[in-house]
Amino acid sequence: MRTYDLAIRMGLSQSRASRLQRAEVAGSIQLNTLARAAEAMNCRLQYVFVPDEPLVSMVHRQARLRAIAELGTGESGAEPDDVVEARTYELIDSHDLWGPPTKPGWVSP
């Protein structure tokens, strides 16, 4: 769409529409302004976070890091992997993986 057409649809001057387009390219446009531009073009603005990896992997890694931090090290130097894995799945199932620590000694990963 030409800048002129966008300006008319948004009720702006052409120079203001040009500034909006430059702000979008620079990543400095405000969301409410972007939503107005979308509406002027008969579109919807969708603001989303897209994970860089599968959520299952992200959750498992977070749970495992938290399990290791909670369990610390035993007298032999480290907790057995099956104990860490069991706590990992408990954390995943607890639905409180991202919340505050539930055990003393928990350290943020």
**What is the domain partition of the chain in residue ranges?**
3-40, 50-109
pLDDT digits (tens, 9 = 90+) for 13-65: 999 999 999 999 999 999 999 999 999 999 999 999 999 999 999 999 989 88
pLDDT digits (tens, 9 = 90+) for 54-99: 999 999 998 988 888 888 755 555 667 888 899 889 888 877 777 7
Query: Phi first, then psi: what are they for 13, rounded to 5°?
Result: -75, 160
CA angle 63, 68, 70 (to 5 degrees): 90
CA-CA distance, 64 to 57, in Å (whole number)? 10
- C-alpha 33, offset from chain centre: 22
Q: For the whole model, what pTM was predicted? A: 0.56
CA-CA distance, 87 to 28, in Å (whole number)? 43
The answer to whether the CB of 70 falls within 8 A of the CB of 57 is no
CA-CA distance, 61 to 86, in Å (whole number)? 13
